[in-house]
Amino acid sequence: MFKKWALVIIFATALILRLSLSLSAYHGDLNNNISWGTLAVEKGLNGFYGSPDADDWPYSAPNQPPLTLLMFTGLRQVWIGIDKMTWWINYDVRLFPSRFVWFWRDHGMTLLMKLPSIIADLGIGLLVYKYLKKINKHKFALVLTAVWLFNPITWYNSSIWGQTDSIVNLLGLAAILFLLKKDLVKFAVLFTLSFLFKGSLGIFIPILGLIAIFQKHSKEIWLRTIIYSLVTIILVSIWFHPHLDFPIWFINLYKDRILPGEIGYLTANAFNFWWLVDPGKVMDSTLFFGLPARVWGIIMTLVGMVGVMFWIFEFRILNLFSNSKLEIRNWRKVKLNIKDSRFFISLALTALLTFLFMTRIHERYLYPFFPYATISLAFFPWLLVPYLLLSLIHLLNLYHLFWAPPISLLESLYVNPGFALFLSLMNILFFLFILRHLKKAKI
């Protein structure tokens, strides 16, 4: 009974904290989100992506996936509905507080835009709690749920900035937990939804794909998985292009508009390896030792991912080789028994190394590290110190250029370029620290 009430108090406090902060700051990104939702309601979804020329849009051309734009459109419809209802009640009910009408006009859309991310924060916390209880980590479940919910990087991202990273990561974490249960269909549908919301979790596809393959699902399950995923894509995206060439349009949308991003710099305000190389507005097409920086970033990230995959699978993939000859048909004989501890820390490492070494990385792109690192704390208590310090550095990175709330003493630290360089270096050193400890750990 105590744990039940403790859990309720933790979630209620976390919700109240987020709601109380939701109107404390307004990031310019919300202008894009609100304008896209407003225009979608006014003009309709068919052909909404239209011209990629930013001059044709109030703030910038839509560069978010279909599910994100559907959410913005739905939120705008909710705002309109409540606005009409409050005006109607205000005229007919004398006791109705008239000030709410003006509050909703001024702040209602901002609150609505942040609310899904706030709820997603709580959703991730609930998944963390349920998973740890299920694997008999009861003593960690409540504590790590609180660690997640009250980690400043979570409520700063959702309640103050108004970003949607928590939503895509909620979908991704739910999908991954279904994969651990060997429910391939539910995993694929949820992971597809996460990709339709944002493509940021595509970094996990190599690991998750190999796990799905080695789980040895039947051909019928694979066929059903593919069909359900395709249906999900169509149901979410067809509204924007209801034409026969939809598959080509969808591929081009991601290839040309969504995945490349808007800023082709070495780093888009991320304190990582490339910040150490040059924190200025240097394009990632710049050559270093004969290769563009973007290619170097991909190479370093892929090498790191291969290392992570060899570690997580304990070189089981080498069992595909027999008598020095590759026999692909033998893959069904390979037994896979990955410990959860190894699995979750590998996802956290993948998120961290991608943030550190890929180009065009925004400061927010370290977010996927934290849900899996939070769960990993139940297996690796030594991870707590780097986890807390990486959280602090990430928070300082989020604060940089946003400056919300305005704290002159803190802002003055960034006047010295060495401060951001130091934080970038520390991110890399903590990455190496985690690798060193995992090499020694017996898991």
- Asked whether residue 220 is domain-assigned, the answer is no
Provide the 3-class DSSP secondary structure of residue 402.
coil
- On the 0-12 / 13-18 / 19+ scale of CB atoms within 10 A, 329 is exposed
Look at residue 441 in the predicted model and tell me its pLDDT.
Answer: 73
Is residue 269 scored above 70 in pLDDT?
Answer: yes
Look at residue 214 in the predicted model and tell me its pLDDT.
Answer: 87
Look at residue 192 in the predicted model and tell me its pLDDT.
Answer: 98
Structure tokens at 183: 């429910």
Phi/psi region, residue 62 (left: phi>0; alpha: psi -120 to 50; beta: rest), is: beta
Could you tell me whether strands 321-322 and 325-326 are parallel, antiparallel, or unpaired per DSSP bridges? Answer: antiparallel
- On the 0-12 / 13-18 / 19+ scale of CB atoms within 10 A, 246 is middle
Domain of residue 352 covers: 263-443
- Asked whether residue 356 is domain-assigned, the answer is yes
- Please give the average per-residue pLDDT across 435-439, as a whole number: 89
Token match 């069992």: residue?
319
How high is the mean pLDDT of the chain?
Answer: 91
Q: Buried b vs exposed e over 280-313: b needs ≥16 C-beta within 10 Å?
A: eebebeeeeeeeebbebbeebbeebbeebbebbb
Q: How many CB atoms lie within 10 A of CB 244?
A: 8
Q: How far is 233 from 394, CA to CA, in rounded Å?
A: 33
Q: Which residue has the higher pLDDT, 375 or 58?
A: 375
Complete DSSP assignment for 172-233? HHHHHHHHHTT-HHHHHHHHHHHHHH-GGGGGGHHHHHHHHHHTT--HHHHHHHHHHHHHHH
Q: pLDDT by residue (tens digit) across 186-220?
A: 999 999 999 999 999 999 999 999 999 989 899 99
Is residue 94 scored above 80 in pLDDT?
Answer: no
Could you tell me whether strands 267-268 and 361-362 are parallel, antiparallel, or unpaired per DSSP bridges? Answer: parallel
In residues, how long is the chain? 443
Report how far Cα 275 is from the mean position of its chain's Cα atoms.
21
Q: Residue 405 carries which DSSP code?
A: S
Provide the 3-class DSSP secondary structure of residue 327.
coil
CA distances to 176, 207, 347 from 342, in Å: 14, 12, 9
Structure tokens at 12: 């209620």
- Asked whether residue 153 is domain-assigned, the answer is no
Q: pLDDT by residue (tens digit) across 294-331?
A: 999 999 999 999 999 888 876 555 454 444 444 444 44
Report if pTM > 0.75. yes
Q: pLDDT by residue (tens digit) across 36-72?
A: 999 999 999 999 998 777 667 888 889 999 999 999 9
- Asked whether residue 303 is domain-assigned, the answer is yes
- Asked whether residue 206 is domain-assigned, the answer is no
Sign of CA dihedral 107, 110, 112, 116: negative
Q: Which of 195, 121, 204 is nearest to 371 (CA)?
A: 121
Could you tell me whether strands 361-362 and 325-326 are parallel, antiparallel, or unpaired per DSSP bridges? Answer: unpaired
- Asked whether residue 398 is domain-assigned, the answer is yes
DSSP E strands: which ranges in 294-385?
321-322, 325-326, 361-362
- Asked whether residue 343 is domain-assigned, the answer is yes
- Structurally, the chain folds into a number of domains equal to 1
CA distances to 5, 6, 12, 139, 378 from 2, in Å: 5, 6, 15, 13, 21
Look at residue 336 in the predicted model and tell me its pLDDT.
Answer: 52
187 contacts 176 by C-beta, under 8 angstroms = yes
Give the angle subtended at the CA of 249 by the CAs of 247 and 250, to the nearest 5°: 65
Look at residue 7 in the predicted model and tell me its pLDDT.
Answer: 93
Structure tokens at 215: 């789980």
427 contacts 356 by C-beta, under 8 angstroms = yes
Which of 288-297, 329-338, 423-432 has the lowest average pLDDT? 329-338
Look at residue 326 in the predicted model and tell me its pLDDT.
Answer: 44
- Asked whether residue 428 is domain-assigned, the answer is yes
Which of 87-91, 164-168, 400-404 has the lowest average pLDDT? 87-91
